[in-house]
Amino acid sequence: MKFRTFIVPLAVIAGLVLVVGLGLLGGFGLRTPLYLIERGGSANPAALQFVPKQSPVVASVLARPDRLSQLWEYLAKPKLRPGIKADMAQIERILLANTGLSYERDLQPWLGEEITVAVVSTDLDQDSTNGLSPGYLVALSCRDSALARRTLELFWQNRALSGDALTFEEVAGNRLIYANRQAERPRLSREPGLEQLATVLVANRFVLAANHPEVLRQALRAAQATEANLLSDQRYRLALRTLPPERVGLLAANLSKAASWLTGEGAEGTTPLTLETLGTPDNQVDWGLVSVGLNRQGIVAEVALTASPGHRLQPRQHHLTDWYGLAQYLPDPLTFAALGIDLTLLAQALHPISQLWEGNPLWPTLERPFDSLLETDQTNLMLTGVDQGYGLGVVLQARTPTLTWLLLSPVSEQLTQTLKTLNDQVQGQGLGVGQVDLFGHPTTVWTRLSLIPAVPRTGGTEPLQIKADVVSLQTRVDRYQVLTSSPATMEQVLLTNQRPVGPPEWTQHLDRLRQPAEAYVHLDWPQLQRVLEERGAPFRLWQAAARPVLKHLQQITAASYGQTDQVQTMGLFFQLSNQPL
């Protein structure tokens, strides 16, 4: 599937879910209506009754968009309001592209407090040999069904006047209307567009729209057979019980099917994404639910991932207590940073995401930065050798494939033995292992020797030279073992030990997440965005569609809360800024 076949619906879902945070930009005062933060919007999306259980992705906004945009504009500084209006106009153009509709004129007068968008199927005809035809469903709740009906009638009248042949079909007592510009029975469209657009008004409560009438038929059948829709799904109910009720958005995803939709490769997958890494073969999840809430500084999301059928997760509930001591040695800013109690758990947590990003050269770098230095077995040895808390940092550069990484962990007998083993092994790979003194700290250095070719010069030839490149440095600071790929980074750590400067700024936002946690992961979005724009053409296309939202994103911080035998829980904090980039 070509990237453009899913970029528009992806941007729609991203816009609907992330736009709920735009009202936060600028801060809140005492007279601000705080109910969206304190109580959230509608409790649960009723439109999930129209969404089949097997749907790959479903996103719901549980408050009217105009309430959020008005709040955002009202609270922003006056000089920023023109820019905010422009951003909202651009979001509206993306969401209503090619419909001829205006939100303020055509939707706001009758729209209720819920908008749900679903990818019902990654391929409607289930035949990947003729290309993929995703099915998209939009459900809009109604607070004035008469106005909604008149809007639909006017819309279809205009389509008929423009030359479209309209078809009317009765399904379960509801009248479907869809257009067919070829004046024949609609076929599954190969490209996104509105040639197959279909709508139906259901029970004066919901307006359903889809990119093909078959999507609406599936939606109405799901509503009639309650055991077939997402609202009655046991995974949904189980995950919902673990999430806080104060929300303005909800996102559900069948992880393997969502991966198939995002990559556009092959038919819908049935293999669950797996958390297995380093001997945990039963940790498999196949479905997730995200509850989106509001915070004065951004968006707070709570995530619940459920175990795959027939599988159990390995229960754990660890708490990171020494994060401050580790964090104070992490430089600021870092593209990627992590604090936790077990480095193998970080690999397990990131592995499902790496499956979604398969083929992207950046994510393996973030997931396992040592892979660029060590062989696979040695990387696994490093992960298991860190048997206590850890601090990890990675810096990516936009115009170079090299990366800088830093690892800190309390000194232990197991870690000391692991490093001794690695020092012996890398010498067999042609690396030099030596000792130097840095600011009074005995430091082990791995080096790689290379030859600089002789260069002709007047009166002779430049002598052959040998160049030594630093691959890794290891030393002890206070009670921590420090490893890094950069001499400059090691210098920062050693100087921090002499003149403590405190932990990175992003750690100040950890109180936005539930406490206690077993691990924290942080992404500096502006840094990562620059790298993605430089190296990833698909990202540049997606970023162009989602720019009105992404340009306000500053930091992403995640926390892992542990897991029972059925559910893994975590939190996400998206720090937003009201300063346009």
Instruction: Give the model's pLDDT for residue 372.
Output: 66
CA angle 208, 116, 304 (to 5 degrees): 145
Q: With contact defined as beta carbons under 8 Å apart, do 210 and 255 qualify?
A: no
The mean pLDDT of 210-221, rounded to a whole number, is 94
pLDDT digits (tens, 9 = 90+) for 144-191: 999 999 999 999 999 999 888 899 999 989 999 998 754 444 444 444
The mean pLDDT of 4-16, rounded to a whole number, is 45
> Which of 5-9, 80-84, 535-539 reaches the highest mean pLDDT?
80-84
In the predicted structure, residue 274 carries a pLDDT above the cut 60 = no
The mean pLDDT of 244-270, rounded to a whole number, is 77
Instruction: Give the model's pLDDT for residue 379.
Output: 82
Residue 65: which region, alpha, beta or left (left: phi > 0; alpha: psi -120 to 50)? alpha
Cα–Cα distances (Å) from 43 to 36, 39, 226, 240, 521, in that order, read 11, 9, 20, 11, 29
**Cis bond leading into 56, ω under 30°?**
no
Show me where the domains of the chain are located: 4-267, 291-576
Cα–Cα distances (Å) from 164 to 28, 100, 155, 353, in that order, read 48, 14, 12, 43
Nearest-10 crossing angle of helices 525-535, 537-550: 150
Instruction: Give the model's pLDDT for residue 380.
Output: 83
Residue 71 to residue 83: CA distance in whole angstroms = 15
Instruction: Give the model's pLDDT for residue 135.
Output: 92
Residue scoring higher pLDDT (282 or 46): 46
Q: Supply 342's token pair.
A: 């077990």
Of 29-33, 80-84, 337-341, 513-517, give the lowest mean pLDDT range. 29-33
Instruction: Give the model's pLDDT for residue 360.
Output: 54
Confidence of residue 270 (pLDDT cuts 50, 70, 90): very low
Give the residue ranges of DSSP H helices in 96-233. Answer: 145-161, 213-224
Residue 411 to residue 420: CA distance in whole angstroms = 13
Instruction: Give the model's pLDDT for residue 483.
Output: 95
Instruction: Give the model's pLDDT for residue 442.
Output: 95
The mean pLDDT of 193-207, rounded to a whole number, is 86
C-alpha count within 13 angstroms, C-beta hemisphere, residue 575? 20
Residue 189 to residue 213: CA distance in whole angstroms = 11
The mean pLDDT of 511-535, rounded to a whole number, is 86
In the predicted structure, residue 275 carries a pLDDT above the cut 50 = no
Instruction: Give the model's pLDDT for residue 68.
Output: 73
The mean pLDDT of 553-561, rounded to a whole number, is 91
| Average pLDDT over all residues of the chain | 80
Confidence of residue 114 (pLDDT cuts 50, 70, 90): very high
Confidence of residue 97 (pLDDT cuts 50, 70, 90): confident
Report strand pairing: 298-307 vs 480-484.
Answer: unpaired
> Which of 69-78, 85-94, 136-145 reaches the highest mean pLDDT?
136-145
Residue 356 to residue 358: CA distance in whole angstroms = 6
In the predicted structure, residue 475 carries a pLDDT above the cut 60 = yes
In the predicted structure, residue 449 carries a pLDDT above the cut 90 = no
Phi, psi of 105 (to 5 degrees): -85, -40
Nearest-10 crossing angle of helices 81-95, 537-550: 130
CB atoms within 10 A of CB 326: 22
Q: Supply 473's token pair.
A: 């440095």
Closest by CA position to 198, among listed 181, 183, 215: 215
Residue 319 to residue 300: CA distance in whole angstroms = 20
Confidence of residue 40 (pLDDT cuts 50, 70, 90): confident
Residue 223 to residue 355: CA distance in whole angstroms = 33
Sign of CA dihedral 215, 219, 225, 227: positive
pLDDT digits (tens, 9 = 90+) for 342-364: 888 787 666 655 554 555 555 55
Of 158-167, 237-246, 420-429, 458-467, give the lowest mean pLDDT range. 458-467
Map 469-520 to HEC letters.
EEEEEEEEECCEEEEECCHHHHHHHHHHHHCCCCCCHHHHHHHHCCCCCCEE
Q: Supply 367's token pair.
A: 């997931």
Q: With contact defined as beta carbons under 8 Å apart, do 290 and 251 qualify?
A: yes
Instruction: Give the model's pLDDT for residue 4.
Output: 40
Q: With contact defined as beta carbons under 8 Å apart, do 48 and 58 qualify?
A: yes
Residue scoring higher pLDDT (281 or 181): 181
Instruction: Give the model's pLDDT for residue 123.
Output: 84
The mean pLDDT of 245-255, rounded to a whole number, is 91
**Percentage of the residues of the chain whose pLDDT score is greater than 70:** 76
Confidence of residue 458 (pLDDT cuts 50, 70, 90): low
**Cis bond leading into 78, ω under 30°?**
no
Q: Supply 11's token pair.
A: 């941007």
pLDDT digits (tens, 9 = 90+) for 362-419: 555 566 677 666 777 788 888 888 988 999 999 887 666 678 899 999 999 999 999 9
Instruction: Give the model's pLDDT for residue 550.
Output: 77
Q: Which residues contact 496 (CB under 8 A, 6 or more apart)?
A: 328, 329
Tokens 């919901």 locate to 206
Q: Which residues contact 162 (CB under 8 A, 6 or more apart)?
A: none
Of 40-44, 403-407, 412-416, 432-436, give the lowest mean pLDDT range. 40-44
In the predicted structure, residue 500 carries a pLDDT above the cut 60 = yes
Q: With contact defined as beta carbons under 8 Å apart, do 445 and 472 qualify?
A: yes
CA angle 426, 430, 435 (to 5 degrees): 65
In the predicted structure, residue 53 carries a pLDDT above the cut 50 = yes
Our CA dihedral for 553, 524, 258, 213, rounded to 10 degrees, sits at: 20
Cα–Cα distances (Å) from 454 to 71, 285, 447, 458, 465, in that order, read 67, 57, 22, 13, 7
In the predicted structure, residue 30 carries a pLDDT above the cut 60 = no
Instruction: Give the model's pLDDT for residue 24.
Output: 38
